[in-house]
Structure 1
């Protein structure tokens, strides 16, 4: 059902990173649902987390641990979000960290926990504790694909990508994986995403790199307008490469930034293509705004309109729904006579009225495609944004109606 989602390609190992998975029976049967990502000592870590006030216990614990330590392990489970679980949820997340700490010989505060799945159920700690030794034993530098599969929930396919480039005469690798399919309107990153590079990068510089990459990717997507309680995106730098980047002014920083953003964008768009029940991948472009904020207002109002999304599902060029979304987006003093609308290359509205050469046949041709572009010109400035979304199908309702059953 995924909208043009490509099969997972080979993911490149990152020196200083080992990964292991195991079937812990947290919620799913006969598939891995627990993962460990181990990182070499001396590595640095950047992260962004959900801004949802009802954030999950692992988010709270991960923030605490990251504040004073350089993490050595990421511990990830699927099937249970450990959100809405109060103090007990925090105790459970800390207990799981302590178990891995005992196995690995590091402090429990050097472990960052992450969870995804059903909200409001207590974490099955004993199952995780029983399964962790196996995940520890099987960790491998080539385990990226296995972890990408282990962290899936309603995803139909694993998501990952690698970028390899040369900088300062030495090779550098950036590899990333992500999960996400529904409850997607990130307010920082995606549901869960984990990236690593072998470059040497101090924490402050790494955080700047991740924030910029997230702003141009994960914070430009929406499936259903919902921000999860568990969103997290992590970027690790192991320092195993000969490439050292001390500041954002370093010439090498631009190359790393480009690679990290490329990985983030690939993962973010894969999430949209794998949106729950998605059949269409939709790019919404808004130009001619006075500032980025009002362009985003218009773009997200269009992208999150159930009427627009269902029209895309039906391949119906119902452009009136798009105009209505533009009009209710809240842009102050919007002059309708300055607005133009395009379906693909076809100009539908120009100067606020129907273009005399537009035909329904043009619109139907565009809307029948798997990848659709909806472009708006506001005619009031130079700002522009591009976001990505998907259609709303019968399957989305079915998936979410049956999610806990």
Structure 2
């Protein structure tokens, strides 16, 4: 596997663009579009929040078809808790982009990120859409990545290439998110493109598995969003032998996909609101996989553990208390081992070893600082 430049437009046949349409008061870019020049197999995973924003309701229906051409994203407004009008705006957005691209509305996914509870200024999207589509370019990945940012401080993108049967297959990706992060799925936006030729079923399998190992294994503040999703589009232009089963080619493709997803997930944590430290929580000896993940997240989401990390205070008792708070039968202080790397470093590893079984899980998080409180106290 080789890291390459180009982000989401590194794979053949993908174009992107980002423009300022006026949703953000700052005047920064707030409308982005990814499009494949040919129809693409499409998979997506969505938030498990019971409240889903209007664009997700539309995108879930469209994604169920397993194919598409484009993804439209606006930042600065979540289009959530906006009722029938919000749903109308989301549907109209897909029709608008489809008309400009010469495709069907069902071929377009749409999502929004930003402030909840305000109606989307849809007329601004209508006005900007022609220029957005006209400016689509194979070098537009960075413009798109910037257009989807809200409280993010850094652009998050990556691309990697592998060889499958002598053909070069490329995977590109970008994401946004720095607060309201405990995907399961989601609380962040992630977009992945590839020119691999792969069946719909195997693409969905790959995305679900990769999301579980990456985006569903991070937390900044334990808050689950109403909006966000991860999409994966595969247009087949690499010309590799079509992947239809869990064979050696699928394994190689999946490993590259997981790599780019984990890389983005870590970048989200590093860019966490007010974050000064990167924490890895590793749990071993759990009774089963979900239990290991639950324990790791309990430690990762503990305000006392996170503030201890911020203060360089190696308070192992807070870790033990977080584990014990779950009330899991069989956890015993005599058989539990807690260890960690120095707390005065920028990267901290916390290990929790249990004696319940052979399962393990890793979760990534950040510390909790004064700056996090300041950012979220003022966000409006």
* TM-score, normalised relative to structure 1: 0.90
Q: Retained in 2: the 8 A contact 1:19–1:147?
A: yes
Q: Which moved more, 1:56-65 or 1:318-327?
A: 318-327
Q: Which residues of 2 match residues 169-318 of structure 1 at below 5 A?
A: 169-189=166-186, 191-318=188-315
The residue number in structure 2 matching 1:381 is 357
Q: Does 1:104 align with 2:101?
A: yes
SS at match of 1:155: coil
2: CA distance, partners of 1:398 / 1:250: 50
Structure 1 residue 329 and structure 2 residue 320: aligned? no
Q: Which runs of 5+ in 2 are unaligned?
A: none
Matched, 1:30 2:27: yes
Paired with 1:259 and 1:185, the residues of 2 have a C-alpha distance of: 23
What is the CA–CA distance in structure 1 between the aligned matches of 2:6 and 2:68, rounded to whole Å? 26
Between 1:331-340 and 1:308-317, the stretch displaced more is 331-340
What is the alpha-carbon distance in structure 2 between the residues aligned to residue 302 and residue 80 of structure 1? 32
Distance apart, 1:32 and its partner CA: 1.2
Secondary structure of the residue aligned to 2:345 is coil
Number of residues paired by the alignment?
376
Choose the corresponding residue for 1:71, options 68, 72, 77.
68
Mapped partners of 1:190, 1:162: distance in 2: 22
1:228 counterpart SS class = coil
Secondary structure of residue in 2 paired with 1:71: strand
Q: Name the counterpart of 1:402.
A: 378
Change (3 A) 1:246 1:226: same
Shift of 1:80: 0.5
Name the CA distance, whole Å, in 1 between partners of 2:325 and 2:99: 56
C-alpha distance in 1, partners of 2:309/2:64? 44
Query: How far apart are residue 68 of structure 1 and its match?
Result: 3.4
Are the structure 2 counterparts of residues 56 and 217 from structure 1 closer, same or farther at C-alpha, using a change threshold of 3 Å? same
Instruction: Go from structure 1 to structure 2 and tell me whether the alpha carbon gap of 1:325 and 1:35 turns closer, same or farther (over 3 Å shift).
Output: same
Closer, same or farther: CA 69–372 of 1 in aligned 2, 3 Å: closer
Flag structure 1 segments of 5+ consecutive residues without an equivalent.
1-7, 345-365
When residues 191 and 326 of structure 1 are mapped into structure 2, their CA distance, relative to the original with a 3 A threshold, is: same
Structure with bigger gyration radius: 1
1:392 is matched with 368
- State how far apart, in whole Å, the 1-side matches of 2:152 and 2:144 are: 13
| 2:127 match | 130
In structure 2, distance between residues paired with 1:177 and 1:388:
18
Give the root-mean-square deviation of aligned CA atoms: 1.4
- TM normalised by structure 2 equals 0.96
